[in-house]
Amino acid sequence: MSLSLLYQSSDLVAINKPHGLLVHRSPIASDAGEFAVQLLRDQLGQRVYPVHRLDRKTGGVLLFALSEAMNAAMQMLFAEGGVQKTYLAIVRGYTDDQQEIDYPLRREDGVLQEAFTVLKTLQRTEVDLPFGKHATSRYSLVELTPTTGRMHQLRKHMAHILHPIIGDRPHGCNKQNRLFKERFAMDTMLLHAQTLRFRHPQTQEAVMISAPLQPEFSRMLTLLFGQQLAGDRL
């Protein structure tokens, strides 16, 4: 697999991570044989350091440092809130035009942490797809901007407001996930890391990195919302 490079400088490189690709080896995913860290290392011929994480089933912008010093600087920038992240997601139901989700999340060790996400609805659709007692199904395309970086924050926040991300397991709706798998042969999670914005720690240059949609997200966007939106809006 050759990874698509979105940005490259002497000390940073960003890829468009495909859905389903792990960032690095994990004991909870023993079935995986390929990892972004190893693939990018082999592609560039040098050591790389992931400065943040994306879930296995999330696609989009993934940033790496090319030195230990830049890795430390970028991780500090993320920790201090100096990196703005925006995501796209397709979720169940009609979401509000805008919404602030201020809902603390509990870590695995039981500690409760503040978590805050801003939601903006980009488009809504009602499709001829019977589900349960309903003759049609409703979905929303949303832009999500987290100001904290908790584990599975966006997935948990969308489930909390009863608009789960399509394809999310275990936080999403299993019946919807099964419907998409049976009707569309779609078995990924429709969450895309669209942009990263930050100031370079050394040069203070403003950096914005954007990732085109991965094919499966584009396919579902076209099927649910129409080709015009898929081509013209994103």
pLDDT tens digits, one per residue of 172-199: 999 999 999 999 999 899 999 999 999 9
Query: Do β-strands 59-65 and 49-50 pair in parallel, antiparallel, or remain unpaired?
Result: antiparallel
The pLDDT assigned to 26 comes to: 63
Asked if 44 and 56 count as a contact pair (C-beta separation under 8 A), the reply is no
Residue for token pair 């943040």: 52
- DSSP for 117-170? EEEEEEEEEEES--BTTBSSEEEEEEEEEESS--TTHHHHHHHHTT-PBTT-TT
Q: 49-93, pLDDT tens digit by residue?
A: 999 999 999 999 999 999 999 999 999 999 999 999 999 999 999
Tell me how far apart the alpha carbons of residues 99 and 34 are, in angstroms, rounded to a whole number.
37
Give the residue numbers marked as catalytic.
55
Question: pLDDT digit string (tens) for 96-154?
Answer: 999 999 999 998 888 999 999 999 999 999 999 988 888 999 999 999 999 998 989 99
